[in-house]
Amino acid sequence: MDKTYLFRPYDHEMHYSQLETICRNVYKGVDFAPQIACALSNDVRCAPYVLCDAMNVAAFVNLRLKDYHQNDNGVLISCDCLRVRKDFRAKGMGSAIVKAVMRVAYANFRHHETQNWKVSFLAVTDQDNGVMRHIFSKFRWTSHEVMHVWPASTVVWDAKHQNIPLLDALHMSQFITAEASALSKQWVKITSDEILSTMQILRQRGASYQRPLYFDVESAECASAFLNHDLATEEQRSVWRLDRDGEVQGLLFVRTNIREATQPCRHSLISACVIGVKVAESCVMFVAARLHVQFFHVSFDRPIRSEHFSKSRLLSQVPSEPFVIYRHNGSHCYHGDDKGVCRGSESPRLARPCL
């Protein structure tokens, strides 16, 4: 970049019209970022920023502060809603944003160094987004295995637009096996006290919970607090476990009604950690038939992989969205080239909330 850009807090009155323009052609014109921008700017756990020159907003990103992690004594920040103006793409904006995010976060929490808090970051990107994957690697972010959201967002939006329940809109009844149907009736609701032990068993079998977007289950502490959240009752949150032949086969985190204003999704969200294709199919049936949820996404963590979708007649009928989670666990900021990013022009607005 030849110009110097200012990384400053997002001002809804000043920047909204430009944000709306930037997002006009994203997600088929129904991008969620402008819809939640005002809520982001008013939430103490969020800190939306823009990268701009004197006149134009070149990029937008939100920093979402996750709950304090007692085990690793650190602060976890999720980076989401990254948007770059079309005519500014391929001009180093991605690198500038990542560099600025890390600097502003470290600067904000520097006064906590006496408590030895470590600043960590999470972000996701599309599996095929080679540019962002290269940028994350450049700044020493490490990647986790590919995970999947099923079905793709456009599929759910189309069903909602038609006002036809998701599985009916997809004509899925002919692809439901007797085994998956039977397993869907075996999911059992569990309490907060049972979540951690279930997660530990699944992790021993190769499972992984890394949920920066929709669920606060990045650590055991956050997962156990899922049912104790202020919105747990209003959102009809629940956690379910499936045992088969005496072994744990799956764990589901369910949010039936999304009420949190800063969340991009307004239909039901299910985070699934399951073993095997049939169990994966059963959780889809469980949500639709037993919970009577009409529109939903299921986010599949490991050990479900791309090959599992291709082996399932049910899940392979519509596309999923593969994504990669990147994490940076360092305690030091990137000390590379400063060209193009203005430092110290704005004091960080990301404040530590009371948890």
The predicted structure's pLDDT at residue 318: 92
Classify the C-alpha dihedral 99-102-107-110 as positive or negative. Answer: negative
**In angstroms, rounded to a whole number, what is the distance separating the alpha carbons of residues 280 and 179?**
11
Work out the pLDDT band at 202, boundaries 50, 70, 90: confident
What is the residue extent of each domain of the chain? 5-146+327-342, 152-319
Q: Do domains 5-146+327-342 and 152-319 have the same CATH topology?
A: yes
Yes or no: say if 223 and 199 are a contact pair by the CB < 8 Å rule.
yes
Structure tokens at 206: 């190769």
Structure tokens at 223: 């997962």
**In angstroms, rounded to a whole number, what is the distance separating the alpha carbons of residues 197 and 195?**
6
79 by DSSP, 3-state: which? strand
pTM assigned to the model = 0.80
The one-letter amino acid at 68: Y
Summarised one tens digit per residue, pLDDT across range 315-354 is 999 999 898 888 888 654 444 444 444 343 343 444 433 2
User: Of 212-221, 281-290, 310-319, 327-336, where does mean pLDDT reach its minimum?
Assistant: 212-221
The predicted structure's pLDDT at residue 88: 79
User: Of 20-34, 61-75, 85-99, 312-326, where does mean pLDDT reach its minimum?
Assistant: 61-75
Question: What average pLDDT does the segment 28-57 reach?
Answer: 86
Yes or no: say if 44 and 353 are a contact pair by the CB < 8 Å rule.
yes
252 by DSSP, 3-state: which? strand
Could you please report the per-residue DSSP string of 296-316?
Answer: EEEEE-TT--HHHHHH-TTGG
Instruction: Specify the fold of 5-146+327-342.
Output: Aminopeptidase (3.40.630)
Query: Is 118 a residue whose pLDDT tops 50?
Result: yes
Cα angle at 354 between 348 and 355, to 5 degrees?
120
Could you please report the per-residue DSSP string of 162-194?
Answer: HT--HHHHTT-GGG--HHHHHHHT--EEE-HHH
**In angstroms, rounded to a whole number, what is the distance separating the alpha carbons of residues 29 and 85?**
14
Structure tokens at 219: 């650590």
Could you report how far apart the first and last alpha carbons of the chain are, in Å? 39
Peptide bond into 165 cis (omega under 30): no
| 152-319 CATH | 3.40.630
Could you please report the per-residue DSSP string of 318-355?
Answer: S--EEEEEEEE--SS---S--TTEE-SSS---------
